[in-house]
Amino acid sequence: MKYYYLITVLFVLIACKKKPEPPTVPAQYESGIVVLNEGLFEQNNASLTFYDGTTVYQQVFMSENGRGLGDTANDFDTYSFGGTEYIIIAVDISSQVEIIDRKTLKTVVQIPFFDGINAREPRHINVNGTRAFVCNFDGTIGVIDLISNSVIDLIDVGANPDGLAIVNDKLYVSNSGGLHYPIYDSTLSVINLSTLLVEETIETRINCTQMIVDDQDEIYLLSNGNYDDVSPALLRIDPLTNTVLETTEMEITSLAYYNNWMYFYNESEEAVYRYNTVTEAVEPTAFMDVSSYETFGGIIIDKTNERLFCIDANGYVNSSIIMAYNLSGNFLFEFKAGLVATDLIFNN
C-alpha cells in the first residue's frame, strides 16, 4: 500500500520522541541536599529530590518507598533520637505527618491528622527536643511525642495557623486566617511548652505567616497584607513582653536568617534584600538581583557551609530550579528539583 511509507515515517517520528526514563537512586544520602517539592494541589505529586553535588535524583521518596509521599507537602524539619537522624514532613492535603530516616529516606511512620473524617491539614513543623509541633490549617497545634511517634495533644489556636517559632520555651503560632478572606486573622498565639497551654494571644497584623528569630531572640513576623490595598509588612516582636515593637510596611516575602542578617525577597524590585537585625535597617542597595527568575519561590540558608539557596518555582507548573550562592551573593551552582520546591535539608 502506498501509504505504508507515510505511516512508517510517522511511527519513526513518534518513536524519536523519547519516553522519559524512570528515575534512578543514588548510592547514598549521607552527603548532599534533600529538596522538598510541594507538588500541585490534588495531583498527588509531592516529592523529594536529592542532589549529591554532581547528579540530581528526582522522586527519591517514591523510589525508596514504592509509593508517593502524598498531596501538597509544605514543610519539613530534622531531628535525631537514639542515635538515628530523621526527617519529619508535613503533608497538607493528604493530612499526614511522615517521618523518614534522614540517611536512607525510608519511611518510619505515617501519622494521620484527621478530625473524624475531616482533614486537619498539617502545614508547618518545628521540632523541639523530643516533641514535634505541627500547625494544622484547621486551627490546631498537634503535639507529637517523637519517642512513641504518637499525637499527645491538640491545642486550639486561631484561624489557619501558618507559621511557627520557638523562643524561651514558648511556641509562637501565627494565625493567618488565609482562607477567611476578606476577614483575615491578625493574632499570634503563645503556647507554654511545659504546660502546652495558650498563655497569651497577641494582636498583630492581618494575614501573618512566616517567623524568624534572630540572635537577640527577637521575632520577625511577616504580614502578607491582603494582596490588594493593604501592603505587606515586617513586624518586630519582643518575646519578653509579647508586644509589637515595630511595624514596617514594605514589599517583603520569603524570609531567611543567618548571622544578624535577614534576607528577603522584594517582589516589585525583583531582588533579594538584607535587613540587619542589630541596626534594624534594610540595606539600601539590593543584595542580589533575581529578575531573571521566572517565579521567585524562596530563600534557604545552609548555615554550615555558609551558602544561600534561592528557588525559581518556574510558574509553579514546571520543575523548580535551585540556585546556590555564597554569602557575597556570587553564583555557585544550580540544579533542577521537582514541582514547587519549598524547602531544603543539608546532609553532611
Partner 1 sequence: MQLTRYISTSFCILFVLLSSAQDTSKYLQTIPVFAKQDSILRLAVISASIPHFELTAAKLDQLGAKDVGEALKYIPGVQLRDYGGIGGVKTLSFRSLGAGHTAVQLDGIQIPNLQTGVINLSSFELFGLEKISFSSGRAVDSRSSASAYIPANTIALNSILASQPHKFRLGLYSNSTSINAYEKGLFAQTRLGKRFFIGGQGMVKFGNGQYKFIHPESSADIINTRLNTALFNYRARIVGGFIGRKNKITISAFLNKNEQELPGAAVLFNPSNDQKLWNQDWRLNLIHELRIGKWNLQSHFNLQDNFTNYQDPYYLNLDGFINVVYYQENLDVGTLLSKSFRFPNERVFIGTDLVKSSLFGSNITGRPIRLQNNSVIGGSTMFGKFKLDGNVTAQFIQDTYESTTSEDREFLKFSPFVAMGFRPFSKTELRFRAFYKNTFRMPTFNDLYFNFIGNTGLEPEDANLFNLGITYGHEQKDWSAELTIDGYYNRVKNKIVAIPTKDLFNWSMQNIGETDIRGIDIGALVVFKIKQSQLTLNSNHSFNSSIDITNILSPTYGSQIPYTPYYSSTSGVSWEVKGFSFSSNVLISGYRFSLNENIYANLLPGFVDINLGISKKIHFEKSSFLVDLKLMNLLNKNYQVIRSFPMPGRYLQLRLKYSLAK
Query: Which positions touch partner 1 (CB under 8 A)?
Result: 3, 6-7, 10-11, 13-14, 17, 19-23, 40, 42-45, 47, 58-59, 62, 66-68, 70-71, 91, 93-96, 110, 112, 114, 117-119, 121, 137-139, 159-160, 177-181, 183, 227, 253, 267, 295, 313-319, 338-340
Cell numbers given for 172:
509562637
CB of 124: closest distance to partner 1 in angstroms? 15
- Closest by Cα among 237, 289, 292 to 266: 289
> Which is nearer to partner 1, 11 or 197 (by Cβ)?
11
Q: Is the CB of residue 125 less than 8 Å from the CB of residue 136?
A: no
CB of 346: closest distance to partner 1 in angstroms? 23
Q: Is the CB of residue 165 less than 8 Å from the CB of residue 219?
A: yes
> Which is nearer to partner 1, 11 or 331 (by Cβ)?
11
> Which is nearer to partner 1, 77 or 162 (by Cβ)?
162
Count H helices, E strands: the chain? 2, 31
Cell numbers given for 104:
536512607
> Which is nearer to partner 1, 94 or 187 (by Cβ)?
94
Burial class (CB in 10 A: 0-12, 13-18, 19+), 1: exposed
CB of 239: closest distance to partner 1 in angstroms? 28
- Closest by Cα among 105, 227, 243, 217 to 165: 217
> Which is nearer to partner 1, 93 or 235 (by Cβ)?
93
CB of 72: closest distance to partner 1 in angstroms? 9
> Which is nearer to partner 1, 110 or 248 (by Cβ)?
110
Please, how many CA atoms are within 13 Å of residue 305, restricted to the half-sphere of its CB? 16
CB of 80: closest distance to partner 1 in angstroms? 26
Rounded distance between C-alpha atoms, residue 210 and residue 206, angstroms:
13
> Which is nearer to partner 1, 242 or 253 (by Cβ)?
253
Q: Is the CB of residue 286 less than 8 Å from the CB of residue 269?
A: yes
Q: Is the peptide bond before 182 cis (omega within 30 degrees of 0)?
A: yes
DSSP states along 19-32: PPPPP---S-SSSE
CB of 206: closest distance to partner 1 in angstroms? 13
> Which is nearer to partner 1, 44 or 260 (by Cβ)?
44
CB of 63: closest distance to partner 1 in angstroms? 11
CB of 42: closest distance to partner 1 in angstroms? 4
Q: Is the CB of residue 206 less than 8 Å from the CB of residue 200?
A: no
Region of 215 please: left (phi>0), alpha (psi -120 to 50) or beta: alpha
